[in-house]
A and B are shown apart, each in its own frame.
Chain A
C-alpha cells in the first residue's frame, strides 16, 4: 500500500475526524493532490458504503482546481458512478465563488460533454416514499451542470419536467453550439 493511500485510509477510518479540513495531514498531504484524487476515486468506486461516504466527504473539500482530474473519472460508463460523480462536482461548484464559474466550465467541459449522449436513467434508492417529480438521465444532469455554469439562474426544474424528446432536442442544440465554439 502506498504511503499516501495509507494516510488517506487512516483519516477516513478515524471517526474522531469529522471535518477533514481541520486535519493538518489532510491539508498538507492530501488536499488537491493528484495521487490522492486517484486513490479517493478508487475508494469511492470499490469500497464499503461507510468508507465511500467518508471518501465523498473528503473529496468535497477539494478545490475547483481539482475538478479537471475529478471529472476525468466520468469516462467510466456506469450510470450510478457518473451520477454520483456529477453530484460531487456540483457540490464543489456550489461552494466556489461566482467568478470562478467560467474557469470551472473550461476545466470540466471536455470531460462532461461526452455524457450528453448517455441516456442511462438515474435510479435513486430512497428509503421512504418521496414525491418523484421527474426521471432524470445522466445526459440531463450533465447538461444541467454545464448550463448552471454558463447561466447561474437557469431553471433546472422546468427542463427536468420536459418530455424526454424535448430534453433531447435541447441537449442536441447545446452540443451543436458547443461543437461550433458558440458557447463561452
Chain B
C-alpha cells in the first residue's frame, strides 16, 4: 500500500462532560477499534485502507489543546462539552465540582472559556452565575453600542430596556433592574467560593425561576486562530446559535476552508462516538455526500438536531 494520507482527529472534551459515560464510552471504543499509541497518553491511530488514509486520533482535555487543534492544518476537530450558554468551551480536570474551591482552583475552570461567540449574551443569575461560582463581566452600556454583534433577541432586550421608563421588579418586559433591589436574598448570597457575585449585578428579564442578566463574551480566543482545521464539530448545546456566526466571520476573514457540524437544540447523546464510527466506516465529513452519512448516523434522539454548515 502506498503511504497513507495522515489526518489528525482531535476530540476536545470539556469540563464535566469528560466524566459522563459518553466520554468513557468513546475512549473504550477507541481502545477496541483503533491502535493505541503506548508511548503517548490518549493517542490512537486508525488506517482506512480503502481510502489510503491514516487517522491519528487524540483525546484532549485542555483549552490550549483545543486552540492548537483549530489551527492544525487539515485536522478534524470535535468539541464535546458544554456551550456554557454561549460563553464558550470550558475545560477542567476530572470530577470537578460545580463550584470548585478557590484554594484549589484560583482560576475557576467553569469561567475559563474559549471565547468564540457574540459580544453579549443572556445567562441566568442563579442557575449559572451562582451555581458555578463565576463572575462574568456585565453588559456595561445603557444602549447598544454602534457595532453590536449580538443575536436579535439580545438586541431587542437592550433596545427595549433602553427606552423603558418603568423598572418594576416583576414586569415581564425587558428592563435593567438591580437584583439587590428586586431579590435581596438572592443578591446577598455568597457563592461556594465565598464571593457575592450577584450583589451589584443587574438583570434584564425575569423568568419563573431565575433572573436573566446580560454578560460580555466576545471572540478573544477565536481571533487568535486561523481555523486551519478542515472540520469542526461543535457537539455542545445549541452550538449553531452560540458560535456559528462568529466562526463564519472568522472563516471568511482568514479564508479558511473549515466546514462545521453544529447543533440546533439542546443535546446530550453519544454523537461524538458516532462521528468517529462514521469516519472509520470511510465516510468523508467534508463533502456534501459524506456529510449526509454523518447527519443520518448522528440523527439519534437528543442529538440536538445537527446541521452541516459551510
A131 touches B20 (CB 8 A): no
Our pick among B151, B172, B281 for the contact of A157 (Cβ within 8 Å) is: B151
Our pick among A56, A57, A94, A131 for the contact of B82 (Cβ within 8 Å) is: A131
B301 touches A60 (CB 8 A): no
Chain A residues with CB under 8 Å of B302's CB are: 124-126
Give bound CA distance, A64 to B98, whole Å.
44
Chain B 260-304 interface 0/1 with A at a Cβ cutoff of 8 Å (1 = within)? 000011111000000001000100000000001101110111100
Chain B residues with CB under 8 Å of A87's CB are: 299, 301, 305
Closest to B296 in A: A60
Closest to B212 in A: A161
A163 interface hit (Cβ, 8 Å): yes
B268 touches A126 (CB 8 A): yes
Q: How many residues of A contact B (CB 8 A)?
A: 33
Minimal beta-carbon separation of A80 from chain B (angstroms): 10
A127 touches B151 (CB 8 A): no
A95 touches B268 (CB 8 A): no
Q: How many residues of B contact A (CB 8 A)?
A: 39
Give bound CA distance, A156 to B265, whole Å.
9
Chain A 124-151 interface 0/1 with B at a Cβ cutoff of 8 Å (1 = within)? 1111111111101000000000000000
B266 touches A163 (CB 8 A): no
A28 interface hit (Cβ, 8 Å): no
Chain A 1-44 interface 0/1 with B at a Cβ cutoff of 8 Å (1 = within)? 00000000000000000110000000000000000000000000
Closest to B122 in A: A161
A130 touches B268 (CB 8 A): yes
A157-B238, A158-B152 given as contacts; is B268 within 8 A of A127 (CB)?
A: yes
Chain A 81-97 interface 0/1 with B at a Cβ cutoff of 8 Å (1 = within)? 00010011011001100
Chain B 111-144 interface 0/1 with A at a Cβ cutoff of 8 Å (1 = within)? 0000000000010000010000000000000000
Chain A residues with CB under 8 Å of B267's CB are: 130
Give bound CA distance, A56 to B269, whole Å.
15
A95 touches B295 (CB 8 A): yes
Give bound CA distance, A155 to B292, whole Å.
22
A53 interface hit (Cβ, 8 Å): yes
